[in-house]
């Protein structure tokens, strides 16, 4: 069964919405800035969505993560699309699948800095629905009025790629008639200093797949897409989800499998489900974090599975690695090439890693694509590959 992408929208440091993101990609304008996160003096670059600071009226739902979700949901036509589907099918027949790796831990961090004299939470921070791994989906159900099945996926950096696969299965089995999928993650001290403890942060703007890359930059983002069965949709975006692959090799808590075992499985599964050969894929948005190990292993695997003419790029140098929101952010960038006919380059790439042989360039390419892929590989070997195709 083909799944139609009815609508999609993204919000990150590279652009408040899809329209501004397209402009940033076209002009090669990165949203990364020197680390200015309050309470942190780490020498690195981050992708901050400054407009989130203006969202402070969420009451009992207040957290930076929920604020970014609310901000992103107001962009484009996502809110109107979801409201229309609720009106058509009923709120109980619309599903909700969100991905987040940190949920609202930013709010929990703040709560512990403002304990009362007895060491207890103060009234404003007694928020059981916020200090909760499922907080994002709870908040989005509240915000949208969706009463259908709701799920939060937390598989690290593949979280909001896997939402597409779950949403597709719900539609294929008839559990719902439409699904809002999304992902949101925000910067906080736990995230930034946690990655620093793994010695992964770069003091420079990241350079995915470059010979001289020296680490990653972190960012925050929100993204949403609306899925529906092809037989019941007018398909406003002209894009289908035609294949997905998921795997969990569980090789190591933070290091990818040295031979890319799980990543290979996710890519080959997506191709098989879509009934496509590797040579038919026009563009792959790589996970490409700019770490030494991740880029090398993914790059070598791409060379083994795909022709060297398959155009690839990593787009993390625009907004940073947005963790649990990276999957949907990069899925949207990949699928949007089917509408813009522009394959984004790999920003900051100067000298390709000498151990790799890929069709990857810093410059954009104008091309009418038919089939595109995106990879999202998370800690613990949680991998997901999505394949999108132009509607026939």
Q: Which among 238, 256, 59 has a CA at the least distance from the CA of 139?
A: 59
4 is catalytic: no
Q: Tell me the H-state helices in the chain.
A: 18-27, 64-73, 78-89, 105-113, 135-144, 159-172, 189-197, 261-274, 292-305, 316-319, 326-340
Q: Tokens at residue 376, please?
A: 């999202």
Radius of gyration, alpha carbons of the chain:
20
369 is catalytic: no
Sorted by where each starts, the structural domains of the chain and their CATH numbers stand as 3-390 (3.40.47.10)
Q: Please, what is the Cα angle at 217 between 252 and 50, to 5 degrees?
A: 130
Check 4, 11, 188, 287 and give the catalytic one: 287
Check 157, 312, 369, 384 and give the catalytic one: 157
Residue 233 has pLDDT above 70, yes or no: no
**pLDDT band of 24, cuts 50, 70, 90:** very high
157 is catalytic: yes
**pLDDT band of 1, cuts 50, 70, 90:** low
Q: Tokens at residue 162, please?
A: 């896997």
Q: What is the pLDDT of residue 257?
A: 79
pLDDT tens, 314-350? 999 999 999 999 999 999 999 999 999 999 999 999 9
pLDDT tens, 165-185? 999 999 999 999 999 999 999
Q: What is the pLDDT of residue 235?
A: 58
pLDDT tens, 137-169? 999 999 999 999 999 999 999 999 999 999 999
Q: What is the pLDDT of residue 45?
A: 98
pLDDT tens, 93-143? 999 999 999 999 999 999 999 999 999 999 999 999 999 999 999 999 999
Percent of the chain with pLDDT strictly greater than 90: 92
Which one is predicted more confidently, 253 or 133?
A: 133
Mean pLDDT, range 225-242, rounded to an integer? 84
Mean pLDDT, range 3-25, rounded to an integer? 97
Check 312, 321, 369, 371 and give the catalytic one: 321
């Amino acid at each position: 069964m083909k799944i139609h992408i009815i609508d999609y929208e993204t919000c990150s440091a590279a652009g408040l919405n899809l329209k501004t993101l397209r402009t940033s990609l076209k002009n090669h304008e990165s949203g990364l800035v020197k680390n200015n996160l309050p309470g942190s003096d780490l020498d690195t670059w981050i992708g901050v969505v400054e407009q989130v600071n203006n969202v402070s009226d969420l009451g009992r739902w207040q957290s930076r993560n929920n604020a970014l979700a609310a901000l992103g949901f107001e962009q484009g036509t996502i809110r109107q699309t979801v409201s229309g589907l609720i009106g058509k099918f009923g709120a109980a027949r619309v599903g909700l699948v969100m991905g987040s790796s940190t949920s609202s831990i930013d709010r929990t961090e703040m709560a512990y800095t403002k304990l009362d004299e007895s060491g207890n939470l103060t009234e404003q921070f007694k928020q059981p629905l916020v200090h909760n791994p499922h907080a994002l989906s709870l908040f989005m159900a509240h915000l949208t009025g969706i009463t259908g099945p709701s799920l939060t996926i937390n598989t690290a950096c593949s979280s909001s790629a896997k939402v597409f696969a779950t949403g597709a299965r719900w539609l294929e089995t008839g559990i719902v008639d439409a699904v809002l999928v999304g992902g949101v993650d925000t910067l906080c001290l736990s995230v930034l200093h946690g990655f620093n403890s793994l010695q992964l942060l770069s003091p420079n703007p990241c350079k995915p797949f470059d010979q001289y890359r020296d680490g990653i930059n972190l960012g925050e983002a929100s993204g949403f897409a609306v899925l529906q069965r092809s037989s019941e949709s007018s398909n406003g975006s002209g894009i289908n989800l035609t294949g997905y692959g998921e795997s969990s090799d569980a090789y190591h808590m933070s290091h990818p499998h040295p031979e890319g075992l799980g990543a290979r499985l996710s890519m080959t599964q997506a191709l098989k489900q879509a009934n496509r050969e590797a040579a038919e894929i026009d563009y792959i948005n790589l996970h490409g974090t700019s770490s030494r190990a991740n880029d090398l292993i993914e790059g070598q695997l791409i060379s083994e599975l795909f022709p060297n003419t398959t155009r690839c790029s990593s787009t993390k140098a625009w907004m940073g690695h947005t963790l649990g929101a990276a999957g949907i952010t990069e899925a949207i960038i990949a699928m949007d090439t089917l509408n813009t006919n522009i394959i984004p380059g790999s920003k900051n790439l100067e000298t390709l890693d000498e151990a790799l042989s890929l069709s990857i360039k810093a410059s954009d390419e104008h091309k009418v694509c038919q089939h595109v892929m995106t990879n999202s590989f998370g800690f613990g070997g949680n991998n997901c590959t999505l394949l999108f195709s132009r509607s026939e």
